[in-house]
Amino acid sequence: MHARENAHAPFSKFRVGAAVEDSAGHVHTGCNVENATYGLTLCAERVAIFKAISEGVRRFKRMGVVANTEELTPPCGACRQILWEFCGDIEIVLANLNGKSETLRLGALFPRPFDGSFF
């Protein structure tokens, strides 16, 4: 995935790319953007979602996440929460640069989410 090539990862060197497809079939990409404090770092998944949201998109079909790792890299906990709130139980495609991939539902990664239904 080309989005990971734009990652700003001077500290970890861990470059991740994400792409989210909206309900109209448009693809919105993101890459991780690190900060020296790490706490202000944004993951590729959140960047892609926030870019789409900022353009008015509110419905999504699926997300792909690519990293250069042997084991496929799933979204972190913060990204799972954001994905659940904005996308619901969408399809998540995990892939690496060696052609390995796996497709699963977000609900399988995030089985007991906290969301607006608790209010």
| CA 56/CA 102 separation, integer angstroms | 29
The DSSP bridge pattern shows strands 91-96 and 101-105 to be: antiparallel
pLDDT of residue 5: 97
Structure tokens at 76: 């972190």
pLDDT value of residue 109: 97
Please state the CATH superfamily assignment of the domain spanning residues 2-112 in this structure: Cytidine Deaminase, domain 2 (3.40.140.10)
Specify the pLDDT at position 21.
98
What are the C-alpha distances in Å from 108 to residues 16, 88, 91, 103?
21, 12, 10, 10
Q: Cα angle at 107 between 103 and 109, to 5 degrees?
A: 65
Distance CA 48, CA 31 (A): 7
Q: What is the pLDDT of residue 1?
A: 64
**Helix or strand holding residue 67 (H, E):** strand 60-67
- The answer, yes or no, to whether residue 53 has pLDDT greater than 90, is yes
Q: Kindly list the catalytic residues.
A: 45
State the pLDDT at residue 10. Answer: 97
Ramachandran region, residue 64 (left: φ > 0; alpha: ψ -120 to 50; beta: rest): beta
Domain spans of the chain, in order of start: 2-112
Interval 60-72: pLDDT, tens: 999 999 999 999 9
For residue 75, name the pLDDT band (cuts at 50, 70, 90): very high
For residues 38-42, give the mean pLDDT. 95
User: With 90 as the cut, is the pLDDT of residue 101 above it?
Assistant: yes
